[in-house]
Amino acid sequence: MEVTETTENVELIASPFMQDRELSWLMFNERVLDQGIDPAVPLLERLNFVSIFSSNLQEFFMIRVGSLTDLSLVKKRIVDTKTGLTPAEQLITIYAHCQNLYAHHENIFNEIKDGLTQNGIHHLGVNDLNDEQKDFLKDYLIDSVMPLTSPQIINALHPFPHLENGALYVVVRLAERGVEDDTAAAQAAASEAAETAQDTQEAAPKTEKGAKKEVGKKKKNKKASAEGVVLGIVGLPKQCDRIIVLPGDELSFILLENALELLAPEIFSMYAVKHSNVICVTRNADLDASEGEDESDDEDYREHMKRILKKRSRLAPVRLESCRPLSDTVAKFLFKRLNLKEHQAFVTQAPLDMSYIYPLNGLIDDDVRAKFSYIPFTPQWPSSLKRNLSIIKQAEESDILLNYPYESIDPLVELLKEAAADPSVISIKITLYRMASQSHLAEELIAAAENGKDVTALFELRARFDETNNIEWSQRFEQAGARVIYGFRDYKVHSKICCITRQTKKGIQYITHLCTGNYNEKTAKLYTDFSFITTDNAFGRDATKFFHNMGLEYTSDEYKTLLVAPLQIKSMLMNGIDAEIEKAKQGHDCGLFIKTNSVTDQEIMEKLAEASQAGVPITLFVRGICCLVPGIVGYTENIRVVSIVGRLLEHSRIYGFGPLDSMKVFLASADLMTRNMERRIEIAWPVLDERLRKRVIEYVRISLTDTLKLRELCPDKSYTPLQCFGFSEEAAGQYCFDSQDYFIKEAQHPL
């Protein structure tokens, strides 16, 4: 969120062609969810998309809603510079929009669940069990689950426990044995009625003295009400499998949280169980890594990050989910203890944690799983490279461009393996932002350090949710003898660059690797990215200067070939757009193409609108957030915004200047977001090799002819299926083309 401070008397005028960042993101996640109802997507893959939607939304609440919640508590008036909305106004809109999303999510999940049932996969609830399954489940729970539970009572004498972020709990309303349920219910109802009546009276005018008296009575009644509520709560034992397979001819299962509800009377046998529910609390996880730095100047930065991370699990709640509506009494009790409002609670019949689908796949019969899943594919060794020939030698002959995940990351791993054993290699320097927990690439770097090479690894310990993994890897690198640095205090290092330096008979040789995505073998099988290897000394000299500057925490704009944010990338983009504007004014062919994950930077959006008004045709290929709204008369008529949400996650960043056939091409690690342009160390680079430039352009051209997954952002801010560029609607309807599937097949069977 780009914010500014204003006074109460000064209103910020919202842009006519920009939209709220958070709502744009929610619409992206809705496109993910919509894959769950796409008949072209196999049934189990549809379930996977519903799971991705759920985990995306969890992170959204933890980070974006958490951040806005913090901003809403700031005393100074803050407004979003694009929309003029305050954080509080954004939060109201977000929570309201999410209520609709939850209903859509539940409907899609139930449709998929019915489809699985028709194909012999039965996801059951307690009320769906037959007698045999009930008996089996009770025996299993008493023998294998109950000994591992840690139930807690919550009443006036027992404090409310800490509920872990994202964890599932069974919560039950209890009544004392020997007290008639009707009496307890009547007492609770009377207490709630008294509170409601008092709230009504509070709304009426009263004297200051009377108001104070009423407030005192209200507090007293609330305390009495809270003391009258007895809850039991049980967390899911971490030692138990979440999926419990039940007897039956076909695969039938129940989830542990639902089964635990059946066990509640035994767990809380000294009480009468009135009703139960499953709940999940989402907490703010937007940590400030700089917090406390001034007070711990002598503390190692890695230890500082470990200390900061411990706070994440205890930050304030921002969402409460339940699998059924909470009773009024339980809802009021939980809202008070969690400091939440009613609009921050969501109800869904879909599982509150969808991660069970991964072990579920292992329980499904192979033939059934194959029928309802994508045809597996493995990233291929690039057809442009020989398998048994040194990668270094092949890079000396010509620049190498890899297209993940269609082509494998293995050539890069082989390059590092060569470098680790090559006596002529002096040093290897690399930036590491997100790494796989098990990484051959990292092991080769460690092997190089153990072989006596000068290995420098810049770890970004603030890579959100990868902090712990990066801390662990950094410790291993240090133990192997590598030099570990942590980058800048004020900038995240998001660049993806590796520089290998060799001493050859002809002198110093540089082998430079650049990528639009992370050094992560796991995501390299799922994310689309471009990976570039060159022995061009112009790249190598800039790469050497880059790592020199990183060691000194120095930002520079003196790179000759590379473009490094925060000083160069944004100015390059602005100048490039200006050049296309000038071409349009002179009547020359012009154009702009940008592929990115997000568009939020206000200055760049205003410059794109200026180009549109000058007549420059612009295509933005944006996977997720796009705050720029196309097709607004007088502002963005010449801008088209398209998106692909499909089997693979579109992740590569491409900046193109000029008409598509002849455009000047840059690849980059940076999205068009203010944080990437101004608060991160990012790298963009020109594609100078004509063969590789044409290959990138062909990739763009094929992506834009997708008739199956391509969607277009409309002026009303909705997304609509866009048959393709260059096809009439009638022709497109007869021609079904999935660009990602095309690239998979092309990699498997190259021409």
Catalytic residue numbers read: 494
Cis peptide bond N-terminal to 566, omega within 30: yes
Angle at 138 between CA 137 and CA 142, to 5 degrees: 115
C-alpha dist (Å) from residue 545 to 127, 370, 454, 548, 552: 67, 50, 16, 5, 11
Q: Tokens for 183? A: 């009496």
Distance between CA atoms of residues 87 and 102, nearest Å: 22
Please tell me whether residue 283 adopts helix, strand or coil conformation. Answer: strand
Helices and strands, number each (H, E), in the chain = 23, 30
Sequence-distant (6+) residues with CB within 8 A of 189 are: none
C-alpha dist (Å) from residue 737 to 32, 331, 371, 707: 19, 49, 21, 5
- Checking 393-396 for CB contacts under 8 A at 24+ apart, the result is 395/511, 395/533, 395/534, 395/535, 396/535
Closest by CA to 244, choosing from 229, 231, 260, 233, is 260
Number of other CB atoms surrounding residue 192 within 10 Å: 17
Q: Tokens for 308? A: 């900061």
Angle at 160 between CA 154 and CA 163, to 5 degrees: 115
| Residue 684 contacts residue 562 (beta carbons within 8 Å) | yes
Distance between CA atoms of residues 132 and 285, nearest Å: 44
- Over its C-alpha atoms, the chain yields an Rg (Å, rounded) of 29
Residues in the chain: 751
| Residue 235 contacts residue 138 (beta carbons within 8 Å) | no
H-state helical runs in 228-287 = 256-267
Task: Tell the residue number behind the tokens 């800490």, with chain if given.
Answer: 162
Q: Tokens for 216? A: 């005192």
Q: Tokens for 557? A: 């704009």
Distance between CA atoms of residues 562 and 144, nearest Å: 60
How many CA within 13 A on the CB side of residue 743? 29
C-alpha dist (Å) from residue 222 to 175, 194, 215, 295, 353: 19, 9, 11, 41, 33
Burial per residue of 697-718, b for 16 or more beta-carbon CB atoms within 10 angstroms, e otherwise: bebbeebbbbbbbbbbbeeeee
Q: Tokens for 97? A: 């929009």
C-alpha dist (Å) from residue 472 to 311, 313, 463: 18, 19, 13
Closest by CA to 282, choosing from 60, 67, 68, 103, is 60
Angle between the 87-118 and 43-60 helix axes, to the nearest 10 degrees? 160
C-alpha dist (Å) from residue 551 to 497, 540, 577: 14, 17, 33
Q: Tokens for 64? A: 């974006």
